Structure 1
Amino acid sequence: MPAMENQLYDVIIVGRGPVGLFLACELLLQDVSVLVVERRLAMGLGDLPETRACIVHARTQEILAARGLLPTFNKVSSKTNWWHYGILETRLQFGALDDETLENHVMFTPQSQTEEILLRRALELGVVVQLGAKVKSLDQSADEVTLRGSLIKDTNGDSIEEDFTVRGKYVVGCDGWRSSVRELAKFNWEQRDATHVMWSAEATPGVDMGPFNITKNDAGILIMCKMDVPSGRSRIACWTPSRNDLDATEPFTLEEFNQALTEITGRDNRLGNPKGLARFTNMSGYVTEYRKGRVFLGGDAAHRHLPAGGQGMNLGIQEVNNLAWKLGAVIRGEAPDTLLDTYGSERLSIAQGVVTNTTAQSLLFFAHTRPETAIRESLNKILEVPEANRKLALEISGLSHAYPAPLEMIRPEGWDALPKELSGKRAPDVKVRTTDGDEKYLHDFLKGGKWVQFVFSDRHSTGNVGVPAFVGRTEVVSVAEILGNWGGMYKGPHSQILIRPDGHFGFGKL
């Protein structure tokens, strides 16, 4: 790594999973230099299961659409308009959110495909990726962060280890729940110990288990998703009361796993072709801040929880979607350092909310005694109420997430904070007819990672119409009409509205 050691990168990302790769893509749209360092020795998943982190929720799909990536994901994914909450028999109806989003469904994409798509995009944009790099120390100064560690190279079948040093103006740890960056930078961590142990694996059933199999009975629970992957494997997780006190680190065999499924389903599912047999728990935790000087965390490095509803990867992608444009603005000298503090103030409470709702689902997952099953029965009835079902669907999908305060430190001159009912809310992905007669969606204007400035041609403006709010970083759109049924949030007295690069409402001009 000699050449890299002589360079000061704008941002160093530790971790090359979906969150780290998406962050790299986002930062490169901000015209900053990026180095990604990764412990794995190869670009692929290696021995890791290809279907892990396979659920992509609606808000993440909107973010992918806003960067032009969703059509590629659609080609390798399957979808359903429902999903579960705590394995309750009354499902969450994501299809009922068609008045809220184009992406009113849950998408299933194998992590192997997610990483391949994002890596291809990052390489096209010019990212530098260093494999086989294990970070061992981290030192901050007033102007930069220095990472040191060991670099493993494979030379003619022999592994050679050598020291490396790299420098960046900022470092972002996207290196999972065992994060070395979190430990080295001494982030505070609040943890709740595990109470239950689940089993998971990729395997090929020898009988038809359907595309989705979600079962909860006295014998235990089963969650199975079948995806179109080269291996033909399905993603399977289970829990049985009789196996709950086993050590989560203890290995187990495919035969033991199949026996557990037999107890739950009442038949031999004849599993074969296994990979990634592992146990996991409902241990939960999160950092109490997302920033330590010039070091930030994203994804599982900042939080851990039961993977109930498949929210973890989505949470991480949504986090770095928030962080990247802010880092870009500060690095380019266009925003004060205080903008970076808003990453934590906007995202920490959302992460805590995900930990809370997965903890609540944990009780529903493992309900076994009569009082616990009574809670399940009551919640099943509550979710039959459309308003309650919708509220949880919006939360799990990420569509209801909003930011509490306007970013006053970067408010452009002549612009105002939007009213409470708009400020910081997610901007609906409306179809727009421009004054040139074109019809496009909001996501089409967000593809460059810039602010989007809607100028409404039918409203009086007291300022200069169409002058970019942020010179060089604003896509100005002359709007003739908002089409469809989602335009309510765009109606009102403002002649212009600014939408942040992450797709949330920013500022307005009367």
Structure 2
Amino acid sequence: MVRGVEGRVVIVGGGPVGMLLACELAGRGVRTVVIESRSAVSGCPRATTLHARAVQCLVRRGYLGGLVAGGGVGAAGVGGGGVPVSSVFHFAGMAGLVISVPSGEPEPVLKCAQEVLERHFERRARAAGVRILRGHRVTGVRQGPGGVSVTAQAPGGVAVVCRGRYLVGADGARSVVRREAGFASCAYPATVSAMAGDVRLEGAEGLEAGWRRTERGWIVAKPLEGGWVRLRTLNCQGAHPERERPLVLEELRREVGWITGRDIVMGEGRWLSRFSDFSRLAACYRMGRIFLAGDAAHVHFPVGGQGLSTGVLDAVNLGWKLALAVRGEAGEGLLDTYDLERRPAAQRVIDHTRAQLTLMRPGPELEPLRALFGELVAKGGESGVLASMVSAQDTVLPGRDAGCSAWEGTFLHNTVLHTRQGQADVIGLLRQGRPLLLLFGDNRCTDGCAEQAEGWAGRVRVVHAEPAPGLPSALLVRPDGYIAWASEAEGPGAWASGAGGPAAALRALFGPRAEVEAAGVLAGAVS
């Protein structure tokens, strides 16, 4: 017996990336099916960190309610009076890296267990009407000119075939979608051996909390409730020859003892596992109607806690674009920008996590380099480049052409605006998930922009506001907070010649303009 399931988009993988993407699609009216092999959310400790850019994007979409303060005019937890908000993190095991965000943004580092985030997104996905098939193991993927089909085995052995127009593989590092669809990858072999687990320590001499480097490697210890201690080890002598073999408590005990140089007695262990610095990046994120996101597309050494954030940013980038494509409202080539924007970002994460690992290797020849970076981190403000890199706040998307404004591809930070409807801010205005055309003041530029936007009425929200210090006369902002067009680059004769305005950027987002016969069509989209 074969059971059929239909959806406009099928997502394989029900972790935080897959569930977030499902939320984005269903919230825009796209019928979505999620296939997940696990029958329930795993309690195994995994990622615990969301960095600034991921937090900023999620707050703009309203996804972190109850998990983080901030995200609205006058909300608690955001900076005020021009005062930046800062959190302390680490770089290559060196404490003291200061990650800052502008006033008005949520705190830059959100500590939240992946299990909690996954449940949070799943509740929202179910409320939006997403169909979630848990306990279903994918066995095959096929792509045709009109859509895709995914074969899975349900509990009890029943075969299920899910069909849709598009498929997204968000099924982790061992992605079945990536393998079955034939995506090529660039891989970096493992060079170190690492272990992880929660243990109970016995005896008076335990392990001090935090990151500790010895001449043989690293120990990271974090005390937990109930007398447990979460341990991570790093052995730089080489990759473990049997990386797939299950880790047992005695082996972890020996490893910790070897790195620290003393016997550490462990009475009990749970969630024991191995990992390494093996890294992989898919050669492309799209093959026809099939996409990759999260660990299915990229894996790297987890030293900076950036894996979850990188996957979240994949989902935020792809969600609104895929929804437009399903509804037939996407501009030609819009779906291809997912690969162009997100794959270089993942390559950058892989590169600088490998660089951090180099600094963590115990060789004495690296002491001058470690001292140099330690000094940069300790000085706070001078570590801004490192902080922006770790938090992904240095990400600038490629512009549409060489003559675009310097604003294009940058992220629009939260700003309080005085609109025709009253006071608002960027975070609140983006909550609907539609692109914003922000028009500041009344002038020839803003009048012309509003007129051009009539061709895409209902797809872009036009907001008139008083001039804002430091901002150009007009900005087109994507749902993820990045700027798609700005008036700054318009030459003095652009409007006279008909070449100025956001029309080209709107066309890239939504395709050809629609004919608007009634002047009142736009009224419901103007603030």
Normalised to the residue count of structure 1, the TM-score between the two structures is 0.84
Answer whether contact 1:452 1:477 (CA < 8 A) is retained: yes
Aligned residue for 2:383? 389
Pair 1:173 & 2:169 matched: yes
Q: Give the corresponding residue for 2:245.
A: 250
Residue of structure 1 equivalent to 2:56: 62
Shift of 1:100: 6.7
User: Counterpart of 1:197?
Assistant: 193
Deviates more, 1:269-278 or 1:281-290: 269-278
Residue in 2 aligned with 1:32?
A: 30
Q: Is the 8 A contact 1:199 1:278 kept in 2?
A: yes
Q: Displacement of 1:103 after TM fit?
A: 3.3
Which residue is equivalent to 2:68? 74
Query: How many residues are paired up?
Result: 471
Corresponding position of 1:164: 160
Cα distance in 2 for partners of 1:137, 1:61 equals 35
Q: Which residue is equivalent to 1:108?
A: 111
Output the CA distance in 2 between the equivalents of 1:436 and 1:211: 56
Q: Cα 1:203–1:22, aligned 2, differ >3 Å: closer, same or farther? A: farther
- The amino acid of 1:389's aligned partner reads S
**1:400 aligned to which of 394, 402, 423:** 394
Aligned-partner Cα distance in 2 for 1:195–1:477: 53
**Distance between the aligned counterparts of 2:194 and 2:331, measured in 1?**
46
Q: Does 1:87 align with 2:88?
A: no
- CA apart distance, 1:107: 1.8
Distance 1:245 1:133, change over 3 A: closer
- Amino acid corresponding to residue 458 of structure 2 in structure 1: G
Secondary structure in 1 aligned to 2:302? coil
Aligned ranges 1:273-288 → 2 under 5 Å: 274-288=269-283
Distance 1:208 1:60, change over 3 A: farther
CA distance in 2, matches of 1:322, 1:93: 27
Q: Mapping of 1:351-500 within 5 angstroms?
A: 351-365=346-360, 367-384=361-378, 388-406=382-400, 419-438=404-423, 440-457=424-441, 459-460=443-444, 461-463=446-448, 465=450, 470-480=456-466, 482=468, 488=470, 491-492=471-472, 494=473, 496-500=474-478
Name the CA distance, whole Å, in 1 between partners of 2:455 and 2:385.
35
Cα contact 1:457–1:480 (8 A) shared by 2: yes
The answer to whether the aligner puts 1:186 opposite 2:182 as a matched pair is yes
For 1:293, the aligned partner's letter is G
Q: Is 1:217 equivalent to 2:226 in the alignment?
A: no
Instruction: Structure 1: state its 5+ residue gaps.
Output: 154-159, 409-416
For 1:309-348, list aligned pairs within 5 A. Answer: 309-348=304-343
- Checking the alignment, whether the CA contact within 8 Å between 2:395 and 2:410 is kept in structure 1 is yes
Aligned residue identity for 2:417 = V
Tell me the distance in 2 between the aligned counterparts of 1:336 and 1:84: 41
Distance (Å, rounded) in 2 between the aligned partners of 1:295 and 1:274: 40
Task: Note the residue ranges of structure 2 that are not aligned, 5 or more in a row.
Answer: 70-76, 78-84, 488-500, 502-527
Q: 3-state SS of the aligned residue for 2:485?
A: strand
For residues 31 and 210 of structure 1, the distance between their equivalents in structure 2, rounded to whole angstroms, comes to: 52
Distance in structure 1 (CA, Å) of the matches to 2:260 and 2:32: 49
Number of the residue aligned with 1:508: 486
CA contact (8 A) 2:450 2:462 kept: no
Q: Which amino acid aligns with 2:94?
A: L
SS across alignment from 2:301: coil
Q: 1:285 to 1:100 in 2, by over 3 A?
A: farther
Query: Which position in structure 1 is the counterpart of 2:301?
Result: 306
Question: In the aligned structure 2, how far is the partner of 1:225 from the partner of 1:380?
Answer: 22
Within 5 Å, which residues of 2 pair with 1:217-236? 217-225=214-222, 233=228, 235-236=230-231
Q: In structure 2, how many angstroms separate the alpha carbons of the residues matched to 1:64 and 1:11? A: 21
Residues 57, 269 of structure 1: CA spacing in aligned structure 2 closer, same or farther, 3 A cutoff?
Answer: farther
Q: 1:114 to 1:137 in 2, by over 3 A?
A: same
Contact 2:98 2:381 in 1 (8 A): no
**In the alignment, is the contact (CA less than 8 A) between 1:86 and 1:361 conserved in 2?**
yes
Q: Structure 1 pair 163/328, CA: closer, same or farther in 2 (3 Å)?
A: same
Quick one: structure 1 residues 6 and 245, their matched pair in 2 at CA, closer, same or farther if it must change by over 3 Å? closer
Mapped partners of 2:458, 2:268: distance in 1 = 53
Q: Report the Cα distance in structure 2 between the residues aligned to 1:19 and 1:188, rounded to whole angstroms.
A: 21
Conservation of the 8 A alpha-carbon contact between 2:415 and 2:426: yes
Which residue number in structure 1 is paired with residue 148 of structure 2?
Answer: 145
The alignment partner of 2:91 has SS state of coil
Match of 2:496 in 1: none
Equivalents in 2 of 1:470, 1:226: separation in Å? 55
State whether residues 281 and 299 of structure 2, in contact with CA within 8 Å, keep that contact through their aligned partners in structure 1. Answer: yes
Q: How does 1:289-300 map to 2 (within 5 A)?
A: 289-300=284-295
- Residues in 2 aligned to 1:322 and 1:62: alpha-carbon distance in whole angstroms: 13
Whole-Å separation in 1 of the counterparts to 2:106 and 2:450: 33
Partner Cα separation in structure 2 for residue 232 and residue 329 of structure 1:
50
Normalised TM-score (structure 2): 0.81
CA contact under 8 A between 2:12 and 2:169: conserved in structure 1? yes
Bigger-Rg structure (1/2): 2
1:382 Cα deviation after fit? 3.8
CA distance in 1, matches of 2:231, 2:456: 48
Change in CA separation of 1:128 and 1:221 when aligned onto 2, cut-off 3 Å: same
Mapped to 2, the partners of 1:232 and 1:167 lie a distance apart of: 48
Shift of 1:67: 1.8
Say whether the 8 Å CA contact 1:52–1:235 is kept in structure 2: no
Change (3 A) 1:350 1:505: same
TM-superposed deviation, 1:274? 3.1
Letter in 2 for 1:422: W
Q: Are 1:418 and 1:507, in contact at CA under 8 Å, matched by a contact in 2? A: no
Aligned-pair CA distance for 1:337: 4.6
Partner Cα distance (1:205, 1:59) in 2: 37
Distance 1:292 1:354 in 2: 23
Residues 243 and 400 (structure 1), Cα distance of their counterparts in 2 relative to 1, 3 Å cut: closer
**Given the superposition, is the C-alpha separation of residues 330 and 164 from structure 1 closer, same or farther in structure 2, using an over 3 Å criterion?**
same
- Superposition CA RMSD, Å: 3.0
Amino acid across the alignment from 1:136? T
**For residues 281 and 468 of structure 1, do their structure 2 counterparts lie closer, same or farther at Cα, with a shift above 3 Å needed?**
farther
Residues 350, 243 of structure 1: CA spacing in aligned structure 2 closer, same or farther, 3 A cutoff? closer
- Tell me what 1:19 maps to: 17
Q: Distance in 2 between the 1:211 and 1:449 partners?
A: 46
C-alpha contact 2:97 2:380 (8 A) present in aligned 1: no
Aligned-partner Cα distance in 2 for 1:271–1:65: 41
Deviations 1:75-98 (A, max 9, x none): 8xx998111111135x3111xx24
CA 1:208 to 1:118, structure 2 compared with 1: closer, same or farther past 3 Å?
farther
Alpha carbons 1:15, 1:173 under 8 Å: kept: yes
Looking at structure 2, the residues matched to 463 and 364 of structure 1 have their Cα atoms a distance apart, in angstroms, of: 54
1:136 corresponds in structure 2 to 139
- Mapped to 2, the partners of 1:324 and 1:213 lie a distance apart of 37
